[in-house]
Structure 1
Amino acid sequence: MDKQVQNFAVANLRRRPDVVETGGFVAGFAADTDSPYLNYATPLPGTAPTPADVAALVGAFRERGLLPRLEFAPQAAPLVAGALRAAGFATEAVHEYLVCTPHTYTAPLPGGSHPRVETPTTDAEFRALDAALAEAFGGAFAASAEGAARLRRLGEDGGEVRFVRAGDGGCAGGATCSPPAEDTAELAGVGTRPAHRRRGVAAAVTAALTAAIFERGAGSVWLESSGAGSRGTYTRVGYRPGGTRLYVSLPD
């Protein structure tokens, strides 16, 4: 699965409007933000970068005033991590990724009090979802018009976006899923506002998005798990351990 996830990462970055391919790396840049989480690179599976290759990649980031940063499945490109560390890159995090297939997927049982999952369509709904995710992730990013617009574009460009409406008409939480590539798709940004947690919001949107991607014919969906609590939510939907993803960046 590591190679498939890595091939997906390459294909997903190649969808960006500003893409640089150099020395076995693909870098994708977002025009509307300097966030390191939206401006990063990934290696081609099996690449063996030279110091010159790494320097050229760093230059693509530096000329844009951005932090050189990569995300990748290290087992799919085993020579990359060492080359990056030799150039001064430091590890930000190592996350486990989980994979769901139509065989392992567990749909919510009919009946009960499951939260109602919706697809945002109005500007107000996209703004509410963006604000909810900003709150859910503890200020890692600020709610913004650009963030709401990115959520809308994701849906328009073939991805899936879902949310659960709060009692006040706002948003309790939600998540997104990329357009499929390489017979898989990445489910990301699963977040619930603190006041609405432990009510099944994360499980409901995860199940709805996963089902939507399977209905489109993808053979799997994967996501990253960053904590024991969230991992339990995902395993109940049918996600199983798949491997790890490495995050590295080059300090100034």
Structure 2
Amino acid sequence: MTPHHPLLGRLERFYDAVSRPVARAEDIGPLTLFVREGTGWPLYARPALRETGPVSADDVDRVRERQRALGLPESFEWVAETTPTLRAAVERSGLTVHEHPLLVLGPGALLPMVRHRPDGITVRMVAPADPALPGALTVPHLAFGDPGTRVGTAGPAELVAALPRYGTPDAVRAAADGIRAGRTAVAAAVDDASGLALCAGQRLVVADVSEIVGVGTLPAARRRGLALAVTAALAADARTRGIRTVFLSASDEEVARLYGQIGFVRVGTALIAGAEG
């Protein structure tokens, strides 16, 4: 594996390490399958960090067979520039590949620090005992269930109805433990009147590298700049904690341009593959 950008090697080590505290890693040929233990989003397979040969479609098929046996999504994630042979193998196996701009926060980024907005929303980091934490864990599920940036119908009532499914005591306990341990950080845009999180996201941490993930806005609250504000809050918090490298994968080029407004620059392409339908 020969990274094109000097930061990609750091990111590759992060990808290999970030899930290990909450998952077991199964090496299957030149790939590593991460199997989450406990609550949380299902994980994926990715190129093994150790030196391996090219990845074949047979290697991908073996991992998919194991994922099916475990009842996991047949999902793979990797960086195009770091593992260029994997895309062809994944496609020969019958999976669909989606491209996402891979962005890193530039050293000269000037992050906006708006906390109390004139529209009655406060953007803040969420502490372990914050009453907004269950909603912050739930919002992304509603956001990703209605993808895109158009304003949708799911609003506060749907968020409250979804709390028992996604903001469970176990999920809140796991998130709070991660925050206390310094493995994760959560930020949210909270409605001052209701106390509900209208947008939220997380930051995963390994040493001095951090990835911003799962930033999602309640569909009815879109087009108000909340996702950008939450992303900026997560990035600014990382800086105050001495994190050297802050990165994220944008959903598409339009969103990547928005992140560019707060100082993120493109360093590569993140690829996600899965079975369609």
Q: Tell me the TM-score range normalised by the shorter chain.
A: 0.7 to 0.9
Q: Distance in 2 between matches of 1:163 and 1:110?
A: 13
Q: Distance in 1 between matches of 2:239 and 2:206?
A: 10
Task: Give the corresponding residue for 2:185.
Answer: 160
The answer on whether the counterparts of 1:177 and 1:209 sit within 8 Å (CA) in structure 2 is yes
Q: Quick check: 91-100 or 212-221, which moved more?
A: 212-221
Q: Distance in 2 between matches of 1:109 and 1:31?
A: 36
Q: Deviations over 1:34-86 (max 9, x none)?
A: x8x62211103564235654444334323312233210002101222223333
Task: Give the corresponding residue for 2:143.
Answer: 136
Q: Which residue identity lines up with residue 209 of structure 1 in the other structure?
A: L
Aligned residues: 247
For residue 165 of structure 1, give the secondary structure of its aligned residue in structure 2.
strand
Task: Give the corresponding residue for 2:249.
Answer: 224
**CA apart distance, 1:218:** 2.4
Task: Give the corresponding residue for 2:29.
Answer: 23
Q: Distance in 1 between matches of 2:114 and 2:29?
A: 51
The answer on whether the counterparts of 1:16 and 1:28 sit within 8 Å (CA) in structure 2 is no
RMSD of equivalent CA atoms:
3.0
Q: Deviations over 1:164-202 (max 9, x none)?
A: 221212112111000135x42210111222343344422
For residue 186 of structure 1, give the secondary structure of its aligned residue in structure 2.
strand
Q: Distance in 2 between matches of 1:93 and 1:84?
A: 11
Task: Give the corresponding residue for 1:151.
Answer: 175
**CA apart distance, 1:233:** 3.4
Indicate how the Cα distance of structure 1 residues 60 and 15 shifts in structure 2: closer, same or farther if over 3 A, else same: farther
The answer on whether the counterparts of 1:117 and 1:204 sit within 8 Å (CA) in structure 2 is no
2:101 equivalent among 96, 101, 112: 96
Q: Distance in 1 between matches of 2:133 and 2:179?
A: 11
Q: Distance in 2 between matches of 1:164 and 1:109?
A: 13
Q: Which residue identity lines up with residue 79 of structure 1 in the other structure?
A: T
Q: Is 1:67 the counterpart of 2:73 in the alignment? A: yes
Q: Distance in 1 between matches of 2:136 and 2:113?
A: 26
**CA apart distance, 1:144:** 4.3
Task: Give the corresponding residue for 2:157.
Answer: none
Q: Which residue identity lines up with residue 206 of structure 1 in the other structure?
A: T
Q: How does 1:239-250 map to 2 (within 5 A)?
A: 239-249=264-274
Task: Give the corresponding residue for 1:189.
Answer: 214
Indicate how the Cα distance of structure 1 residues 194 and 61 shifts in structure 2: closer, same or farther if over 3 A, else same: closer
**CA apart distance, 1:95:** 0.9
Indicate how the Cα distance of structure 1 residues 201 and 78 shifts in structure 2: closer, same or farther if over 3 A, else same: same
Q: Is 1:174 the counterpart of 2:197 in the alignment? A: no
The answer on whether the counterparts of 2:127 and 2:179 sit within 8 Å (CA) in structure 1 is no
Q: Distance in 1 between matches of 2:113 and 2:105?
A: 18
Q: TM-score scaled to structure 2, two decimals?
A: 0.75
Q: Which residue identity lines up with residue 137 of structure 1 in the other structure?
A: F
Seq. identity, %: 24
Q: Distance in 1 between matches of 2:66 and 2:220?
A: 42
Q: Distance in 1 between matches of 2:78 and 2:43?
A: 13
For residue 39 of structure 1, give the secondary structure of its aligned residue in structure 2.
coil
Q: How does 1:22-41 map to 2 (within 5 A)?
A: 22-32=28-38, 38-41=42-45
For residue 176 of structure 2, give the secondary structure of its aligned residue in structure 1.
helix
Q: Distance in 2 between matches of 1:75 and 1:124?
A: 41
Q: Distance in 1 between matches of 2:172 and 2:204?
A: 16
Q: Is 1:204 the counterpart of 2:229 in the alignment? A: yes
**CA apart distance, 1:122:** 2.7
Task: Give the corresponding residue for 2:152.
Answer: none
Indicate how the Cα distance of structure 1 residues 56 and 7 shifts in structure 2: closer, same or farther if over 3 A, else same: same
Q: Which residue identity lines up with residue 132 of structure 2 in the other structure?
A: E
Q: TM-score scaled to structure 1, two decimals?
A: 0.82
Structure 1 gap ranges (5+): none
Task: Give the corresponding residue for 1:127.
Answer: 134
